[in-house]
Amino acid sequence: MKAGHIFGGVLIPLAAWVASAQVGTPKPPPLPPLPNVTTQSNSKRPAPTRDDYLGDAACAKCHEEKVDSFHQTAHALTSRLPDKQSILGNFTPGDNIFATSNPELSFRMEKKGNGFYQTAVQGMSPYTTERTEQFGLVIGSGGKGQTYLFWKGDELFQLPVSYWTQLGWVNSPGYRDGIANFDRPIIPRCLECHATYFDSTAPPNRYRKAGFVVGITCEKCHGPGGNHVERETSKTPVTSDSGILNPAKFPRERQMDLCAWCHAGHGTPLLATFSYLPGEPLDHYLELPKPDANAEVDVHGSQVELLARSRCFQSSSMTCLTCHDVHVAQHDPVSFSRQCLACHKPDTAMFPKHDHDAASNCIDCHMPRQDTNLIVFDWKGKKVRPQVRTHWIKVYSTAAGSN
Ligand code: HEC
Ligand code: HEC
Ligand code: HEC
Ligand code: HEC
Ligand code: HEC
Ligand code: HEC
Ligand code: HEC
Task: Look at residues 383, 377, 361, 277 and name the one whose alpha carbon lies nearest to residue 17.
Answer: 377
Q: Alpha helix locations (H) across 98-185?
A: none
Within-domain flag for 50: no
Residue nearest to atom 34 of ligand 7 (CA): 362
Range of the domain at 356: 295-403
Examine residue 126 and say whether the peptide bond preceding it is cis (omega within 30 degrees of 0): yes
Tell whether 307 is covered by a domain: yes
Q: What percent of the chain has pLDDT over 70?
A: 83
Q: How does pLDDT run across 302-358, given as a tens digit for each residue?
A: 899 999 999 999 999 999 999 999 999 999 999 999 999 999 999 999 999 999 999
Instruction: Look at residue 31 and tell me if it is in a domain.
Output: no
Domain count, the chain: 1
What is the distance in A from the centroid of ligand 5 to the CA of 363?
12
The protein residue whose alpha carbon is closest to atom 33 in ligand 2 is: 59
d(CA 196, CA 220): 5
pTM above 0.85, yes or no: yes
pLDDT number for residue 400: 46
Would you say residue 391 lies in a domain? yes
Q: Residues 22-49: what's their mean pLDDT?
A: 50
Specify if 352 maps to a domain.
Answer: yes
- The answer as to whether 85 is a domain residue is no
Question: Which ligand has its closest atom nearest to the C-alpha of 299?
Answer: 1
The pLDDT value recorded for residue 2 is 27
Amino acid 186: pLDDT: 97
Closest by CA position to 66, among listed 288, 246, 299, 326: 326
- Better-predicted residue by pLDDT, 32 or 72: 72
- Left, alpha or beta for 91 (phi > 0: left; psi -120 to 50: alpha)? alpha
For ligand 1, residues with CB inside 6 Å are: 16-19, 139-147, 186, 189-190, 193-194, 262-263, 266, 300-301, 388
